[in-house]
Amino acid sequence: MFGLLVFMSCDKSSYTEDFQLTKTTTDGNNGGFGITPDPGATRDSVRTTLYFEDRLLNAFLIGLSPNEISYVIGKHVPTSTLYSYGDLHQPATFIPVTDDINFNPIWREMQIDFNPGFTPYQFTSSAQIDSSLHAASPEITVTMTDNFYRYIITGKG
């Protein structure tokens, strides 16, 4: 019987190492991101229904602390996008949309605003948002916010 031994190389400066939720990277605290969490930080959290690729899902979002946000931005940690039409804590006419639920554990919120002359409507996928944003006459404007969330998909919407 033959065995195969594979060695993998890791770039010690890569962001992937920073995402390990280990005692070493968090000084024994369960914070992740390679930093000690803010012990006194007030965390924003919200339960919401959202669209991903035309499917409704339920999610629980936990806001990152200012220290974690600074780390994510400073290290250029990849994030996925959560498109919202307004404050996630308030009742809204339209449901948020995300572009990813598997690869990145962090969403950065982007605000959707319809341009003058266009009637607002519900998007159900990031592909629809991209098409509307990059059309010859764009229907929407998307604005980056300072809101970052860890998320947990809790079921079908």
* Residue for token pair 């339960």: 47
| Contacts of range 28-31, beta carbons closer than 8 Å, 24 or more positions apart | 31/68
CA angle 34, 126, 43 (to 5 degrees): 35
Distance CA 69, CA 75 (A): 10
Tell me what pLDDT residue 9 has.
33
pTM of this prediction? 0.75
Per-domain residue ranges for the chain? 39-156
* CA dist 132 → 66, 68, 115, 135, 139 (Å): 32, 32, 10, 5, 5
Tell me what pLDDT residue 38 has.
63
Per-residue pLDDT of the chain (157 residues; tens, 9 = 90+): 444 433 333 333 333 333 333 333 334 344 454 545 566 677 788 999 999 999 999 999 999 989 889 999 999 988 999 999 998 888 889 999 999 987 778 999 999 999 999 999 999 999 999 999 999 999 999 999 999 999 999 999 7
Task: Evaluate whether 40 touches 49 at the Cβ level (below 8 Å).
Answer: no
Tell me what pLDDT residue 116 has.
97
Strands 55-63, 140-156: parallel, antiparallel or unpaired by DSSP? antiparallel
